[in-house]
Structure formats: structure tokens, C-alpha cells
Amino acid sequence: MTEDRLKERQFQIARYKHLEREVTDPLAVSLLHIIIEDLEAGLRRDAPDWHGARD
């Protein structure tokens, strides 16, 4: 993952976290939380590509 893509993903996660704090509908909060977890998992999975080659 390139540095630009990494920063973009981190910004996207921060944006969703902000929305999660602002939303009052419980269903929307749950869905946003799922999206955030998915994005963070993808970031953890793909981040090693940015720091070096994975096996």
C-alpha cells in the first residue's frame, strides 16, 4: 500500500468515526461501526505492503 493510499484510508476511517459519534439512529451507528471495523481490518492487512514486502 502506498503512503498516499495509507493516508487516504486513515482519513476515511477518521471520517466514519466522526459520523459514528454524530449519528443518533442506533441502526446507523451499528452500520457505521461495522464499516469502521472492516476498514481498520483492511488497513491492518494491507499496511505491511507499505512497510515492506509480505510473505
Boundaries of domain holding 20: 3-48
- Is 18 domain-assigned? yes
- Is 55 domain-assigned? no
Predicted local confidence at residue 44, as pLDDT: 87
- CA 49 to CA 26: how far, in whole Å? 36
φ, ψ at 25 (rounded to 5°)? -75, 120
- Is 43 domain-assigned? yes
- Is 24 domain-assigned? yes
Residue-wise pLDDT tens digits, 1-55: 688 888 899 999 999 999 999 999 999 999 999 999 999 998 888 776 555 554 4
Predicted local confidence at residue 55, as pLDDT: 44
Total residue length of the chain: 55
User: What pTM does this model have?
Assistant: 0.76
- CA 27 to CA 34: how far, in whole Å? 11
Predicted local confidence at residue 48, as pLDDT: 63
Predicted local confidence at residue 46, as pLDDT: 79
Number of domains in the chain: 1
From the list 19, 22, 55, the residue with the least C-alpha distance to 39 is: 19
